[in-house]
Amino acid sequence: MEQKIEKPTVLLRRTEVESRVALGRTALLKRVAKGTFPRPIRLGGTRTVRWAATEVDAWIAQQINQARKGV
C-alpha cells in the first residue's frame, strides 16, 4: 500500500509575513484585529506566534483577485 506523504506546514515569523505582504507591523496587526488578515498561531503558550504560509499565500491571492475585478 502506498503511503501518502504530507507536505509540512511552513510557519512564518512576523517579519517574514511583513515582507511577503508589503505591510508594516502596525498595519498588519490592525488587519489581524479587524479580521481581514489571517490570525497568527500561538506556539506553546508563549508570546511566540507564527503565521501559516498557506493562509498568508491565500490572502495574497485574494487581494490579487479583488484587484483584477476592478480592472
Which pLDDT does position 69 carry in this prediction?
87
| Side chain identity, residue 29 | L
pLDDT grade for 6, boundaries at 50, 70 and 90: confident
Quote the pTM value: 0.83
Which pLDDT does position 71 carry in this prediction?
60
Mean pLDDT of 27-36: 97
Residue 40 Cα distances to 1, 9, 44, angstroms? 37, 13, 13
Sheet of 41-42: strand order equals: 11-12, 49-52, 41-42
Mean pLDDT of 32-55: 94
